[in-house]
Structure 1
Amino acid sequence: MNRFGLILAKSYMNKIKSRSFIITTIIFTLVIIGATNFQSITSLFDGNGGDSEEQWQVVVYEEETDIAGNLSAQMGILNPSIDITSGEEGLDELEAQLEEGEFDALLTVNTTEVGRIQADYLSASLTANSYSGDLQAALQTIQSNMAANRLSLSADELATLNMPVSFSQSAYVESAKSAEELDQARGLVYVLIFVIYMSVLIYSMMIATEVATEKSSRVMEILISSVPPIQQIFAKILGIGLVGLTQILIWAIVGTLSVNLSGDSLEGGIYSLFDFSAGSISTIIYGIVFFILGYFLYATLAAFLGSLVSRTEDLQQVLMPVNILIVGGALLAFYGLASPEAGFITVTSYIPFFTPLVMFTRVGMLNIPFWEPAIAILLTLLTILVLGWFGAKVYRGGVLMYGNSSSLKDIKQAVKLSKKE
């Protein structure tokens, strides 16, 4: 057990002190700080520190109608940052002034015989499409008011015509989640799926790289004779796993502190996904469980596959099946966000290599019986034990194999070598 602890500590400390770990941690820490303070950072680039909004100057050209005044009144309510003025010059002259930058956009307005407003919006760029959308909405209101006047409709009658349909959704099953709960669950599950996917992918590769590096330095020949392979493989897996948890813990602490110190409103937007209600907390707990299961599953697979190669350059080839399984699980999980009750999503959630991502999606999106994730977790644990037992055999023989070959057929040869030891 002492040797197990030594290998675990060595794997952990080597990665914690490595330059790649420090640089990666710092980069993602800065990204988290920037993301949680995005609104404050962008306001620094606005005029007067973001205290005043820049006016978007729009000149309205119209021949017969009198829409500019109504449009200015509407924009005063809808979007005060849009300044509406009426063009006194001809259309050609106004277009020339627009090209010279005297104002931001030119809106040409005409009205047909049936009372339909036709507008042509001209600007240097269409990137500020929010302005044109607000103008279109205001013109729609003006057109409705003009139609109401022609038909002698009162304000209440016009409001009734424009009143949206009241449409609510509910499920007759009491345990089913509401539409609001589903939206919150979908956002939270999406974030956690991404975290699980990236963590499993990165740290599995890290384990395989460490095994291949030790093998290339011939250190493995000494270790294999003094420490049982099963202890070696799980000591490395646990050591790298602790590295991953340390890194995620650092980011979680930084993110929490940054959010609380940002000064921005924590209501609405992306923050609505993290209300930490009872449902959200249970989803996070399941996320931690499936993260640990997914990590140990793919890390065990990556460790003994990494023992088959003699050069780190060959890792990508031998780890291709692992990457395909991880990507496949992620694709199924993302599809499950839209259709969590699909039949093939239910079936694949019980396949151990897909369980960490797909079953987690079902748990987060649906109110399924406890026995379903329990069975999936049990199957995944059994798969990890089988992979650990078989992986130890491959690991023991694989670390003694040298050469350029890195195909999966070397597994059989590695098992034969382990029997001779």
Structure 2
Amino acid sequence: MNKFMTVFLHTFLSKLKAKSFLITTVLFLLFIFIAANISSITSLFDSEGEPEEQTVAVISEDQTIFEQLSERLEIGESNFQVDAVDTSLDMAKESVTEGAYLGVLHITMSNEGLPEATYYTDDMMSMTAEAKLSQELEQIKIAMATNQAGLDQEIISSIYEPMEFNTEQIAAGGTDGGSIKTEEELSGARGLVYVILFLLYFAVISYGNMIATDIANEKTSRVMEILISSSSPVNQMFAKILGVGLLGLTQMALFLGVGYLILVQKQEELVGGFFEVFGLSEISISTFIYAIIFFLLGYFLYATMAAVLGSLVSRTEDVQQMMMPVILLIVAAFMISMIGLSNPGSQFVTISSYIPFFSPMTMFLRAGMLDIPIWEIGLSILILIVTIIGMALIGARIYRGGVLMYGSSTSLKDIKKALQLSKKE
């Protein structure tokens, strides 16, 4: 036990103090800070060289249309205003290029007495003003057309009023299917599923490579020969998996903690945005529990594979090639989960939720977004645990022989050689 703890603490502390880990952590924290304050940062740059209040110049043949347009924009709280100008169209265009106006709106009247408009701007990438002006002028045109036809405006308003359309989920199998998730719960679960899927994907790619590279480095420096004589290879494998796992949890706890503090400080600004979309306050406790369970099981499954494959190579340059099967599996699981977000009840997602290499993502996806029987979740967890135990037992044998292998080794065929070496010990 003392030898296990020695390797465990050495793995954790050495990685924790590594410059690469510290730089990566600082960069991610900086990214979180920038992402949370992106609006404030961009506003600093946007304010340079632009008028403090954006204005669209309007040249109209009918002054009443300009007045109606101005009133509608004020009611709609647009981020720009309109200004009637009494100049030629060419002079107004020149004012736009000089930065005095955001654009020029030229309103003319058709033969039927209805408005037509052309919008001139020097920034075709920002079409927010164009869309808003077009929308408001369309409403003005409808009002004028209905008046000309002698129709009551209230009748027209009722025709264009959106129909009330609600969606309610019914439990599969009638009333025996369990409780029904509300739209708020479904929205919150979707947000948490997004977060956990990305965290698990990041953890497997980053920390799995870290485990494999660490083992390859020890073999390259011949430190492995000293470690084998003082501690069993199995103890080394699980000590490294747990050590890097604790390192990953520490790093992610730091990310989530800083992110949470930023969200709390900017909660009023994010009301209606982040919290409305993700609705984390509406998630049930069971969904959080499933998130932790499937995250940990997924990590241990892929970390065990990474440790075994890392023991087969003797050079760090070969780690990426040997880790390719693990990366392909996690990418496949991630892609299935992304597809499943739009249709979590599909048969394809359901079947993949029982395949251990995919279930950490896909079963959590189903558990978070659907009301499925508890036995399905339990069965998937049981299959995962059995797979991890089986892989750990087989992986320990491969690891025991793999750490004694030196030379070029970039093929999975070397697993057979590693098993043969483990029997000779």
TM-score when normalising by structure 2? 0.92
- CA offsets, 1:49-93, max 9 Å, x none? xxxx93222122334675222211211112343221234233333
Aligned 8 A contact 1:78 1:134 in 2: no
Alignment match, 1:289: 293
Structure 1 Cα separation of the partners of residues 113 and 380 of structure 2: 64
Tell me how many residue pairs correspond in the alignment. Answer: 417
Q: Which moved more, 1:349-358 or 1:218-227?
A: 218-227
Q: Which moved more, 1:321-330 or 1:80-89?
A: 80-89
Q: Secondary structure at the match of 1:108?
A: strand
Alignment match, 1:120: 118
Amino acid at match of 2:245: G
Q: How does 1:1-400 map to 2 (within 5 A)?
A: 1-42=1-42, 54-63=52-61, 66-114=64-112, 117-173=115-171, 175-262=179-266, 264-273=268-277, 275-277=279-281, 279-400=283-404
Aligned 8 A contact 1:65 1:111 in 2: no
Structure 2 Cα separation of the partners of residues 394 and 116 of structure 1: 81
Structure 1 Cα separation of the partners of residues 268 and 39 of structure 2: 7
Change beyond 3 A, Cα 1:36–1:252: same
Amino acid at match of 2:20: S
Q: Which moved more, 1:374-383 or 1:63-72?
A: 63-72
Aligned 8 A contact 2:93 2:103 in 1: no
Structure 2 Cα separation of the partners of residues 223 and 401 of structure 1: 15
Q: Secondary structure at the match of 2:234?
A: helix
- CA offsets, 1:364-408, max 9 Å, x none? 111111111111111111111111111111111111111123111
Structure 2 Cα separation of the partners of residues 126 and 84 of structure 1: 19
Q: CA deviation at 1:42?
A: 4.6
Amino acid at match of 2:16: I
Structure 2 Cα separation of the partners of residues 318 and 46 of structure 1: 48
Change beyond 3 A, Cα 1:161–1:266: same
Alignment match, 1:415: 419
Q: Secondary structure at the match of 1:168?
A: coil
Amino acid at match of 1:386: G
Structure 2 Cα separation of the partners of residues 274 and 183 of structure 1: 6
Aligned 8 A contact 2:185 2:282 in 1: no
Q: Secondary structure at the match of 1:110?
A: strand
What is the aligned-residue RMSD (CA, Å)? Answer: 2.2
Aligned 8 A contact 1:185 1:273 in 2: no
Aligned 8 A contact 2:188 2:280 in 1: no
Q: CA deviation at 1:187?
A: 2.3
Structure 1 Cα separation of the partners of residues 334 and 184 of structure 2: 24
Structure 2 Cα separation of the partners of residues 115 and 202 of structure 1: 66
Q: Secondary structure at the match of 2:106?
A: strand
Structure 1 Cα separation of the partners of residues 284 and 250 of structure 2: 23
Structure 2 Cα separation of the partners of residues 262 and 279 of structure 1: 21
Change beyond 3 A, Cα 1:214–1:86: same
Aligned 8 A contact 1:61 1:91 in 2: yes
Aligned 8 A contact 2:356 2:383 in 1: yes
Q: CA deviation at 1:347?
A: 0.4
Amino acid at match of 1:9: L
Aligned 8 A contact 2:109 2:116 in 1: yes
Please, which runs of 5 or more residues in structure 1 have no aligned partner? none
Structure 2 Cα separation of the partners of residues 96 and 41 of structure 1: 30
Q: CA deviation at 1:316?
A: 0.9
Structure 1 Cα separation of the partners of residues 73 and 45 of structure 2: 25
Q: Which moved more, 1:290-299 or 1:63-72?
A: 63-72
Structure 1 Cα separation of the partners of residues 41 and 97 of structure 2: 32
Amino acid at match of 2:190: R
Structure 2 Cα separation of the partners of residues 117 and 336 of structure 1: 47
Aligned 8 A contact 1:177 1:367 in 2: yes
TM-score when normalising by structure 1? 0.92
